[in-house]
Chains A and B, each alone.
Chain A
Amino acid sequence: MSDAPIQPFPIRDRLTPFLTRTLLTGTADAVLKKAPALPRSRANLYAPEDLSELGTVFSQGVLHAMVHRARGWERRPVLIGSRASASRMTTGRLWDVATGDCLRFSDGALELAEHVYTACRPQREKPDTQAYTRAVAALSEGTWTYPGDQLLAYWLVDPAWMHLTTGKRLDQLRRLLRRQPMLGLRLGPWVQAPPDPAALDALINGPTRTWLPWWIAHALRLWRTWEERIWRRDLQLHIDRRQTQAAWFGAWLDAIERSGFHDLLPPFMDHLRFMLGSLEALAAGIDPSDSASMHREHNGRTATPDELAEAAIDRVRHVFRRERESDRMRAREAWAEVLSCGARIQASLQTVRAIHPIDRDPNHEFLVELFGSDLGLCDPKPRRGETGVVVTAVRRLDEAGRTIGGRLG
């Protein structure tokens, strides 16, 4: 037995820089070259100053990620209050609306960080898949009593996880994503795990609720960067992904309606506009000489919602025109499922409009204000008071694609 003194694990030289770089930039490859493994025995692993430093990294790193990677510096309208009916509306930046509990972390956060470090650390040029399993298990079994844990998991998660999970691990990840709606929103359509309504309600009504407008916007921006992958898939996988997207949107919109916090709607509206716009761009790219452009002006006037909806349907038909009619119909239905989420928002607006202005709460006023301002696809400078162009357009897309009604003349 060697008498040499046991060297303490260099937490500050290895784990701390890894976490710092991952939270600040989302990558940590340079830090992990020849990185040693964490000792199996955790006895005396951390000195008090190490724990203090890691705590600082967690809170400042997560805050940095929310501000810089989630664009927390953008001003957003936010409803402040524990209940939507008793809230007040304000417009501010992320740090203006933060509550004291947002950046509290439990012991589970440290355990998660260790597992992710081990999983990402290269071993014999192959990732340690067992470490991923332990990390997923840590996330699944965590009580998540503190909101900082969810934020930390969101920023440490790498979409590459899903490529390493097979069989039981994939089922485990899917169960996890149902319980962790923000992780699920980040990965959802690609892992096919619809969120658990109770988990969504707990998140929306929890301490990090005021950060959700920026958080959701970041997750949906990731969806947009992955849109190209969906288009490169074969038709059946494309349809599957659209249907899963529709399930995710539907669950979130239902939860937002239950809570009444309508300040969470704008990121979803942005995404619906993006999807309609992507149809035009893709069709033009496929066959520029035969592109039926989504005319925003018809003989010098602005396109009506019905014209926008019909143009979107034509666009889907055009993009999938080489497919069988039955497959095109399934594609149109899958798209209509996603875009008809706008119909749910329209229904919320109609419900609120039926409430007398004198009886409306701040969340009601927020919804009316939202539909009175920037919504139009057809007008870059929307007229104040214009009703939901996008919502009407997507509802018509849904109806036109599905129904033939009888008429007497």
Chain B
Amino acid sequence: MSRAYWVKLSTSVSDTIQADDCATHKIDLEAVVPAAEMGEIVGAALEGAGWERQDDGSFRKQVRDVTLVWDLTASEVRAGVEASQSLTQDVHAQGRGYDEKQAQSDAQKRLELEAKRVQDALAGEQERLQQQLTQKLSDSEEARVREINEVLQRAYAEAVKRKARRMGNVTNVQESTSDDGEYQLTITISE
């Protein structure tokens, strides 16, 4: 009477999935004062808005889990998101044969098939993570643009004040922001 042999094999499939995405906003800065001074004004406005100066001269800030990097030289703001996950999944397979060798071979083949299926599933996880990051970047666009425009607004206000002082004697400066966020700057100059 023949006997059937059964062999069980196990392994684990591990992978670290990584995803990232970025968006670039080009800044078209009008030089109200000379370009170098404009850059200095923008730098001060950035620090005033909580951006951190980096060693390479750029400025960095987190806005809704998105890292913003303002490059004054390239005149652009880069918004980046990234994430990584370590995933591990155990894989089991059972093989059968008329002898132990055959059962081992069968189990090995089934284990490889199962491991490949898990590997494909992990690839699907990578795509899901990527889409999540891309969606996060997209959702934060309004907040990013608002942050950038607020910095530019401060910078332009300071630049206009400086220019006004060079044009004559500034007798009055009035700044106000309405309830709906409309900013108004009025400078009175006497000759």
Interface residues, chain A, with chain B CB atoms under 8 Å away: 322-326, 329, 402-409
Contact = CB atoms under 8 A, between A and B. Distances in A.
A326 B28 contact: no
Given A324-B134, A325-B134, A402-B26, A407 B21 contact: no
Interface string B125-169: 000001100100110000001001100110111001000000000
B44 interface: no
B118 interface: no
Contacts of B25: 404
A402 B29 CA distance: 13
A404 B130 contact: no
Interface stretch (B5-13, B106-114, B182-190): B182-190
Given A326-B23, A403-B28, A408-B157, 15 more contacts: A324-B130, A324-B134, A325-B22, A325-B137, A325-B138, A326-B22, A403-B26, A405-B27, A406-B27, A406-B29, A406-B30, A406-B153, A406-B156, A408-B156, A408-B160
B84 interface: no
Contacts of A329: 23-24
A140 B130 CA distance: 48
A326 B27 CA distance: 17
Contacts of A324: 21, 130, 134
13 contacts: A324-B21, A324-B130, A325-B21, A325-B22, A325-B134, A329-B24, A404-B25, A404-B27, A404-B148, A405-B152, A406-B27, A408-B153, A409-B182
B28 A405 contact: yes
B138 A407 contact: no
Contacts of B26: 402-404
Nearest to A323: B134
A324 B24 CA distance: 13
B157 A406 contact: no
A406 B152 contact: yes
B138 A404 contact: no
A31 B160 CA distance: 78
A407 B152 contact: yes
A405 B30 contact: yes
A377 B185 CA distance: 41
A409 B153 CA distance: 8
B145 A404 contact: yes
A326 B133 CA distance: 11
B30 A408 contact: no
B156 A404 contact: no
Candidate in A322, A324, A406, A408 with the most chain B CB atoms within 10 angstroms: A406
Contacts of B153: 406-409
A167 B130 CA distance: 37
Contacts of A408: 153, 156-157, 160, 183, 185
Contacts of A405: 27-28, 30, 152
A408 B130 CA distance: 37
B184 A409 contact: yes
